[in-house]
Amino acid sequence: MESGLCLHPMSEVKQKQSVMRTIISSFAILIISALLIAAVEPQVITGRVTDDHGNSLAGVSVFVKNTKRGTQTDLSGHYRISLQPGDKVLVFSFLGMETTEVKIKEKKIINIKLYPEAMEPEEVLRPDYPRIKAEKQALAVASYDMAAGSYTYSSIPPAYNPNFNTEGYSTIHENGYKDVLKQPLSTFSIDVDKASYANVRRFINMGQLPPMDAVRIEELINYFTYDYPEPKGKHPFSVYTELAACPWNPDHHLLHVGLKGKSIDKSELPASNLVFLLDVSGSMNSPNKLPLLKNAFHMLVNELRDEDRVAIVVYAGAAGLVLPSTRGNRKEDILGAIDKLSAGGSTAGGQGLLLAYKVAEENFIEGGNNRIILATDGDFNVGVSSNAEMERLVEKKRDNGVFMTVLGFGMGNYKDDKMELIADKGNGNYAYIDNIQEARKVLVAEFGGTLFTIAKDVKFQLEFNPARVKAYRLIGYENRLLNDEDFNDDKKDAGEMGAGHNVTALYELITAGSEENTGSIDPLKYQENSHTARPDLKSELLTVKLRYKQPDGKTSTLFEEPVQGRLLGKKSTSESFRFSAAVAEFGLILRDSKYKEDASIEQIISLAQGGRGNDSEGYRGEFIKLVRTAGTLIDMRAEK
């Protein structure tokens, strides 16, 4: 008899049944787990939005109906949105197109074609359309309001036309070379505005190259922060200079001049008396206008301290006070007033400004930060509305100690020229908000620099030494140039410097001894007419002079610093020098400047990558991607 265990046939059956039960149980667990995972993991829907001709639509608002969750289509019209249990309908909304709702069901890909809004023949022929008032129109365009979970309507062009554009920009006459023997002084107001960069980015991300006059090179450069030393001593800023060969013209030198404002901890900033002046006219009824404005001001309100105060003035056909001056610890009241805003009617911007100044003056804080924050697309059309009228209004009010911050929103009817003027003449700064990330940058990350002035009427004056420099060209700042005598005139308005702000200026220099022709005039009878045959490298390159006033001062202070100007090799330049040069070169290409010489997209990318540095916020990396996209658009234009 063999040794070992002998199983009874019934025991063998039971063992097989047990194994089967285990297998079935495990399989059931796997199925249940898969179902649980599917229930927990959010459903993701992707797709592409086009017009009725199959063209990609960038910037289309895609929302989950009756929620605040949404996204926008990218340059190629693609979108991606995550859903939650209970989400049933997606809403697609775009300027001038029929708003479309689509049931989600179990779809993973939803491609949408949007069609133009219907339009009556009479309205096509109206010469003043689309600026006519909403109440005189039978048609209006629907936009989906995330906060309200409903539709709102406005009198904007009902027929989608990609070429429709009434945007306004001030003409820029590009700076040329100045002969040092005839014009040794270069005098200009500082410019801390950054609106041009965000606006240029908006155009490029929408698949278009920006208008030439939308490109203010100094604002492209000053969008980025640079590694300048913190100020020491009695002056509220430090001066930094660097000199090297010019990347796009190696026969020339590039001078980098940087100004760094004193950084102030948020807890040490003075109390604020803020007046939010918000445009709620019909032209603001678009997903990238009033809804984005509301989200941006939510961020700003959350940055307020208990000692800060906020009033809210709105304007459409008329201006009104919707929230009296309220302490910063009553955030629910402030946010509630913002959330109730809706758009409609014409645009009495001048009336709104007058009321905002009145409210700011009534709640004035001595030694505090008294400021109006204007948020608009700038399309004023009732009452005081022309650029000249707005300039006179703001100049009359600016000496009362109330500063101005202007935030621009939207596209199509955007009035950049008007908003830049209001900020410049109103002792203020100007930014363009094209997305929620930019709102965070301006109103949260750069809160102090945006809202708190450390010096006003700040003027630059550089005196070049003819022993080192034959001619110079200031890159940008065309709208900020001053007469040489304005430098010592304390009545002459200039730019404001915010806490922690950087200001950077670049000069392209033709060195002494160069035989290059920079244009000629007849020889002068009483002045020296001959240039230095060889540069004196031991002498100073230039002297930098600055004048500024305290935020509440009327008399300026002079700050003067000589610059030796040692020429650095390419590998010895700082990341700040390389990156600012890349941004300037990009501006030259976008403007199709006659001074761009050997500028190229490839060189810009190489310079920017070499100057990218830490880039913790990713702004410099975004710039490199923007340059690549612009390069593609330039190539496409050249092929046509």
pLDDT of 526 reads 67
> What percentage of the chain exceeds 70 in pLDDT?
82
**CATH, residue 89:** 2.60.40.1120
Same domain? For 343 and 406 the reply is: yes
Count of structural domains, the chain: 3
Same domain? For 112 and 198 the reply is: no
Q: Print burial letters for 563-601: b (CB count within 10 Å at least 16), e (below 16).
A: bebeebeeeebbbbbbbbbbbbbbbbbbbebebbbebeb
Q: Looking at the predicted structure, is the pLDDT value of residue 44 above 50?
A: yes
Within a domain: 84? yes
Q: Pick the last residue of a domain from 538, 555, 574.
A: 574
Name the token pair of 587: 């501006």
pLDDT of 37 reads 47
Name the token pair of 234: 């009695």
Q: What is the DSSP letter of 284?
A: G
pLDDT of 125 reads 31
Print the SS3 string covering 560-618: EEEECCCEECHHHCCHHHHHHHHHHHHHHHHCCCCCCCCCCHHHHHHHHHHCCCCCCCC
Q: How far apart are the first and last CA of the chain?
A: 97
Task: Give the neighbor-by-neighbor strand order of the sheet with 428-432.
Answer: 319-327, 309-315, 272-279, 369-376, 403-408, 428-432
Same domain? For 394 and 470 the reply is: no
Same domain? For 93 and 48 the reply is: yes
Name the token pair of 98: 């029929």
Distance, in Å, from the CA atom of 394 to the CA atom of 212, rounded to the nearest integer, reads: 27
402 contacts 428 by C-beta, under 8 angstroms:
no
Name the token pair of 615: 């880039």
Within a domain: 1? no
Which one has a higher pLDDT value, 14 or 196?
196
Same domain? For 308 and 423 the reply is: yes
Tokens 């911007």 correspond to 349
459 contacts 485 by C-beta, under 8 angstroms:
no
Same domain? For 385 and 497 the reply is: no
Same domain? For 83 and 207 the reply is: no
Within a domain: 310? yes
How do residues 57-101 score in pLDDT, each as one tens digit?
777 788 888 877 888 787 677 888 888 888 999 999 875 678 899
Within a domain: 391? yes
Within a domain: 588? no
Q: What is the mean pLDDT of the chain?
A: 84
pLDDT of 350 reads 80
CB-count burial class (<10 Å; 0-12, 13-18, 19+) for 35 = exposed
Q: Looking at the predicted structure, is the pLDDT value of residue 454 above 70?
A: yes
Which one has a higher pLDDT value, 548 or 31?
548
Same domain? For 552 and 408 the reply is: no
pLDDT of 194 reads 94
Omega into 9 within 30° of 0, i.e. cis?
no
Same domain? For 244 and 304 the reply is: no
Which one has a higher pLDDT value, 17 or 434?
434
Average pLDDT over residues 348-361: 88
pLDDT of 29 reads 59
Q: Looking at the predicted structure, is the pLDDT value of residue 199 above 70?
A: yes
Same domain? For 193 and 109 the reply is: no
How do residues 137-178 score in pLDDT, each as one tens digit?
323 333 334 344 443 433 333 333 444 568 889 999 999 999
Which one has a higher pLDDT value, 226 or 445?
226
Same domain? For 275 and 260 the reply is: no
pLDDT of 151 reads 37
Q: Pick the last residue of a domain from 384, 410, 445.
A: 445
Between 416-425 and 195-205, two packed helices, what is the crossing angle to 10 degrees? 170
How do residues 264-312 score in pLDDT, each as one tens digit?
887 888 999 999 999 998 888 887 889 999 999 999 999 999 999 999 9
Domain span at 570: 178-264+454-520+528-574
Q: Which amino acid is at 418?
A: K
> What percentage of the chain exceeds 90 in pLDDT?
54
Predicted TM-score (pTM) of the model is 0.75
Rg (CA), the chain: 30
pLDDT of 131 reads 32
pLDDT of 1 reads 43
Tokens 């007419």 correspond to 529
Least confident of 282-296, 323-337, 457-471: 282-296
Q: Pick the last residue of a domain from 445, 473, 489.
A: 445
Same domain? For 379 and 479 the reply is: no
